[in-house]
Amino acid sequence: MPQVFSTGYKTFLIYLVNEPNPNWDGTSISVIDNTSATIYPLALVEFIHPHTHRFGTVNDEAGSGHSLYKKGLEFYSAHIVENSNWIRELKNIHKVHPYFNESSWVDRKHFLLFFHDEMFEIVANDYKIETYRTTFLDLATEVIKRINSTT
């Protein structure tokens, strides 16, 4: 259940942390309702110096069709893509800018998080992750405060 919040200068990702229930006997399912007042284990990822992102792209049923699948892409996992074609493509686009600076691309990384129904990819310099036990609404409210702050 990933949720993306972004401006031109800040990008945040919220998602449900998988915490297996040791008492689960496999006979029932839990429905996650991001609109409820239920407390969930949630992760908040803040991407440092985000450049661009894409969200949705592919789900687990079509994941084997992704260009990175045969190169080690794992479902329900987080990745740093080495020698990213996407970064090369973005860099080539920006080379026409009169103030293009090759060194500004040195620290950029391609992060990819593969969820059940969505994939999130971002080019950024780094990330910071925090975990919470809270509602989706309360954490989203915190993200909006951070997006609209000067720090």
Calculate what percentage of the chain has a pLDDT beyond 90.
68
**Spatial distance between the Cα atoms of 73 and 87, rounded to a whole number of angstroms:** 17
Q: Which amino acid is at 76?
A: Y
Phi-psi group of 105: left, alpha or beta (phi > 0 → left; psi -120 to 50 → alpha; rest → beta): alpha
Per-residue pLDDT at 5 exceeds 90: yes
What Rg value do the Cα atoms of the chain yield, rounded? Answer: 17
78-81 and 11-16: which strand pairing? unpaired
All residues at 6 or more sequence positions from 145 whose CB lies less than 8 Å from its CB, including other chains: none
Per-residue pLDDT at 123 exceeds 90: yes
Instruction: Tell me the per-residue pLDDT of 39-97, one tens digit each, with 9 for 90 and over.
Output: 999 999 999 999 999 998 787 788 888 888 788 888 889 999 999 999 999 999 999 99
pTM for this structure? 0.89
